[in-house]
Structure 1
């Protein structure tokens, strides 16, 4: 993989930064580590792309977890669960 680094980053550094991206997104790094990750993302296009992808996935998951199923769907699922329970108890 080719990286356009304009600083002293070594090729192996990307693996370390990629592992920190999740912690960075969750605000679980101290300020010094956040600054290091930000600096690396500013200078490394492939890592920035990975960060953008992780951020998008996290956003989509958060949004989908906040949505509720329509009441009609919830009622159909509940009815099917009850039917299965009845069949199991009859066996």
Structure 2
């Protein structure tokens, strides 16, 4: 096992969570997170935040709200 260290683990954390790092880096970061409580906590916060944002992006506004927003945009465009 080679520990990549806190600096690398934190620098590459977002890419790691999105599986955008090479296999070697993924293994090194995973092993580091298993052994470093501070980085593990930071990874948990980042993953939780990413999951919440992803769920929020899947929600859709009610049709009535959408129609109101579009009507206001058209009205604003007509006056400019």
**TM-score, scaled to structure 1:** 0.76
Runs of 4+ more than 6 Å apart: none
Matches of 1:42 and 1:34, distance apart in 2: 12
**Count of residue pairs the alignment pairs up:** 79
Where structure 2 has 5 or more consecutive residues not aligned to the other structure, the ranges are: none
Task: Quote the offset at 1:17 in angstroms.
Answer: 0.9
Matched, 1:35 2:35: no
**TM-score, scaled to structure 2:** 0.85
Matched, 1:67 2:59: yes
Residues 35-69 of structure 1, C-alpha deviations (whole Å, 9 max, x = no match)? 21111111111101110111111111211111111
Is the helix fraction higher in 1 or 2?
A: 2
Counterpart residue number, 1:21: 13
Task: Quote the offset at 1:31 in angstroms.
Answer: 2.2
Which structure has the greater CA radius of gyration? 1
Where structure 1 has 5 or more consecutive residues not aligned to the other structure, the ranges are: 1-7
Asked if the contact 2:3–2:28 (Cα under 8 Å) also holds between the matched residues in 1, the reply is: no
* CA RMSD, 1 decimal: 1.9
Task: Quote the offset at 1:30 in angstroms.
Answer: 2.3
SS at match of 1:78: helix
